[in-house]
Structure 1
């Protein structure tokens, strides 16, 4: 028997003698893909978009890809700027803002990829950011009928000034028209999207896609409301009323 055949024979013997544990309660995969909210306020507890305290939640599956309920999943923060209850998944931030941590879930030898959680100052207010350019639409080429950014800035008061609040969710809804026949709110990729997360500058923005066939007059306007909440209550300035003038494009 040559060396290669001997190695293969030894490997086959090892596999035959090794039991691969399977069963409905044997964990083979771990899923931890999202946090309840992308940011936590310094000194507060992690909450969902409705302002309700929300624990971390991961899922585990067996070899048949069936979820295993009640599995002892544990959680941890990889930096000390937050405290994570490893069992309940409740996260409490320290006093330091404008920082971040990484959160992981684990069970046995399985550990998830880390998810970033920003620690931010308390958001106090929201206001329009920048100017809103008139959307000059085309009836023949509707692919061009997308506005520029309708943007707002989320801020926190510090002394006599303000600082931006990053990674905070802002929701955008149509006020006028109230339906999606004449206009829709979209993201940078042109797909329907009614929410955005603030940048490091505290800016969140969406665009409007216009459908001229539904307009009641050639010169009109689309009104979008931008809302921001903390602990379930709207911030000062919310909702921000964003008015987009629309008119036909002149050839």
Structure 2
């Protein structure tokens, strides 16, 4: 591991959205001599509703993006809809597998977990924007395109969690580096032969087996909150400042644009 979403609501569709409600009388009026016309009208209506839903989701993401000074382009409409549709259909999000080694608790609260993550293939994109928020949002959008058919298989690959971001502190150890790597774990069925990305900015990496110390936190993930969480994990581990080794991992279990996120900070055990 050296280097290298908006919570979506389905809404849409149904009688409450207006547009061609078909009554019993309408159905009775279709004759065997006119199947193509009826089918064509229904198909057009379905396409119109799909376009409306796609536009609605895109505008929602664009509104969220503006909060973080991120532009969500028009070509994100289809990946956003694909990810939303698969989520609403109840498609399971695969968790990155790990073996729990130990867990440290105090008064019922989990202070940290020590885990082992096995060797695995990840799709990675390195981004260097003005803020951490901008970097993770833009990196995540690139990975969404890869997940949603913009890959050599031409198929939706399936969502895995967490999406992880590799971060480093600068030499002063007081601020985060502006360059981050956002990474997506390939689902189990694609681990042996990962589909290749069409985007040249995305590279496939095989990360070695790694021991991590993980601590969960909620809320936004900006530079201030990450530095606080890094320091808190170092404190519960009893590590002096000079024992903190770059890089670190921010693991996100919800979209980078979600208002209240479920996250973890990972320290990597130096081999």
TM-score using structure 1 length: 0.26
Q: Which has the higher strand share?
A: 1
Query: Does 1 or 2 have the higher relative contact order (CA < 8 Å, sep 6+)?
Result: 2
Q: Which has the higher helix share?
A: 2
TM-score using structure 2 length: 0.24
